[in-house]
C-alpha cells in the first residue's frame, strides 16, 4: 500500500509498504479520509513528537474509514462497518487511570499511520476507542473526532462559567474549535453532552494572524476577532474589552512560548489560563511570581483527550450543532500530501482531507 513516513524535519516520504495484517484483537480499516492537523504540522516541522512518535515512522493520526479485516477474538464488529479510531487508548490500570486521569496514563498507547491506504488499529484502541459512525456523516467530518475530543477535554479543564469573557489566542484548527465549543456553551461546570444544561458564553474573543481564519471564527461564534499583526499592546486590548480587568479565561492554542507568556498577561486576577498548545521540547517561559501569587492565577497545562470526550466529540459532530466543516479547506489525494503540508506551513489552508 501507499503510505506516508516521516524521517525527520520536513522529511516526509510516500512509499510502498506491506499491507497491514491484524493480530488478535486488532482490526484494519480502509482509510476513507485522513485529516491534517496542526499537531501533524508541528511534528513535520520539528521532526518528531515527545509522546506520539519517533522517526522513521508512519505518519498521521486523524482518520475514518471502513473495516476490511478483523483479527482473532474481535467481537462486535463486522467487515464493512464505518468507524473512526481515536489515535490512542489508556490502559485503565495504572496509577493515573485509577484516578480517572486517562490523558496522563503511564501506558498511553498512540497509533500513527492514517496517511495511508489502510490503517491497523491496535487491540486497546479497538476495545476502548473505536466507534461506529452514522451513514450520514462523511469520513472527513468523522475524522475530526480526535482533535475535537482534545478541545472538549481542554474546555472542560478551563471550567468556563456562564458570563465569562474568554480570550482564545490562535486561529488554527484547535483555536477555532475552542471558539465553536465555548461560544455554544460547551465546556462549563460539569461538562457533557447529556444531562447538563449548557449556557451560551456570549463573549468569546479570538486573536490570530490570518483574516480568512478570523472570519471563520466569527461564523463559529466569536463576538469579536482581532489580527494581532495590527495590535501593538495585546494585553491592553484585552483589558479594554473587559472593563479594565482582563479575561476570565484565556486559551493558548499556538504552542509558542512567547504566546504562553502573553496569555498570562491577558488574564485578570483570579483567572484561569489554559496552556493548551504544546511547545517545542525543552522550552521554558518566565512567570512573574508576584502576579501569580497575589492575583491568584490558575495556570493549567492540558494534554490530549480521554475516552469520554472521544465519544462526546463524535456525538457532537453527528448532531451538526457546530459547523466544523468550515475548517476543511480542501480535499486532496494522498500523493499531494507533501504539497499540502507546505500549504499548511504557509497558512494557506486550515485542515485538508486526504483521500487515499
Q: What proportion of the chain, given as a percentage, has pLDDT over 90?
A: 88
pLDDT at 199 over 70: no
281-338 residue pLDDT tens: 899 999 999 999 999 999 999 999 999 999 999 999 999 999 999 999 999 999 999 9
Residue with cell 489554559: 274
- Mean pLDDT over residues 42-48, rounded? 88
Residues 284-298 as b or e (16 or more Cβ within 10 Å = b): eeeeeeeeeeeeebe
Residue 23: CB atoms within 10 A of its CB come to 12
Do residues 157 and 274 make contact, with C-beta atoms less than 8 angstroms apart? yes
Between CA 131 and CA 212, with CA 254 as vertex, the angle to 5 degrees is: 90
- Note if the bond before 56 is cis, omega within 30 degrees: yes
Measure the CA–CA gap between 88 and 108, rounded to whole angstroms: 7
> Where residue 201 falls among pLDDT bands split at 50, 70, 90?
low
Q: All domains of the chain, ordered by start, with CATH?
A: 2-143+323-355 (3.90.180.10), 152-301 (3.40.50.720)
pLDDT at 269 over 70: yes
Amino acid at each position: 500500500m501507499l503510505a506516508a513516513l516521516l524521517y525527520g524535519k520536513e522529511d516526509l516520504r510516500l512509499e510502498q509498504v506491506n499491507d497491514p495484517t491484524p493480530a488478535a484483537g486488532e482490526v484494519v480499516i480502509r482509510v476513507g479520509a485522513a485529516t491534517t492537523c496542526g499537531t501533524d504540522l508541528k511534528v513535520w516541522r520539528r521532526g518528531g513528537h515527545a509522546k506520539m512518535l519517533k522517526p522513521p515512522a508512519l505518519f498521521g493520526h486523524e482518520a475514518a474509514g471502513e473495516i476490511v479485516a478483523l483479527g482473532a477474538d474481535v467481537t462486535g464488529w463486522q467487515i464493512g462497518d464505518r468507524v473512526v479510531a481515536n489515535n490512542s487508548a489508556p490502559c485503565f490500570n495504572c496509577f493515573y487511570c485509577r484516578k480517572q486521569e486517562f490523558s496522563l496514563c503511564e501506558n498511553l498507547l498512540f497509533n500513527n499511520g492514517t496517511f495511508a491506504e489502510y490503517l491497523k488499529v491496535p487491540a486497546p484502541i479497538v476495545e476502548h476507542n473505536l466507534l461506529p459512525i452514522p451513514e450520514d456523516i462523511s469520513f472527513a467530518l468523522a475524522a475530526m473526532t480526535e482533535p475535537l475530543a482534545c478541545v472538549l477535554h481542554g474546555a472542560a479543564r478551563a471550567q468556563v462559567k456562564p458570563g465569562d469573557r474568554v480570550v482564545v489566542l490562535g486561529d488554527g484548527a484547535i483555536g477555532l474549535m475552542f471558539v465553536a465549543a465555548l461560544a455554544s456553551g460547551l465546556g462549563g461546570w460539569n461538562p457533557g453532552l447529556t444531562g447538563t444544561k449548557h449556557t451560551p458564553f456570549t463573549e468569546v474573543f479570538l486573536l490570530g494572524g490570518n483574516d480568512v481564519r478570523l472570519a471563520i471564527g466569527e461564523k463559529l461564534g466569536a463576538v469579536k476577532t482581532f489580527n494581532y499583526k495590527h495590535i501593538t499592546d495585546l494585553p491592553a486590548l484585552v483589558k479594554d474589552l473587559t472593563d479594565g480587568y482582563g479575561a476570565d479565561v484565556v486559551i493558548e492554542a499556538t504552542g509558542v512560548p512567547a504566546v504562553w507568556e502573553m496569555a498570562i498577561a491577558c488574564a485578570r486576577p483570579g483567572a484561569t489560563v489554559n496552556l493548551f498548545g504544546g511547545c517545542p521540547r525543552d522550552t521554558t517561559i518566565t512567570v512573574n511570581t508576584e502576579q501569580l501569587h497575589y492575583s491568584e492565577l490558575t495556570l493549567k497545562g492540558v494534554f490530549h483527550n480521554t475516552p469520554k470526550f472521544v465519544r462526546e466529540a463524535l456525538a457532537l459532530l453527528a448532531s451538526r450543532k457546530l459547523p466544523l466543516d468550515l475548517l476543511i479547506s480542501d480535499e486532496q489525494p494522498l500523493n499531494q500530501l507533501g504539497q499540502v503540508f507546505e500549504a499548511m506551513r504557509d497558512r494557506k489552508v486550515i485542515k485538508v482531507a486526504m483521500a487515499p
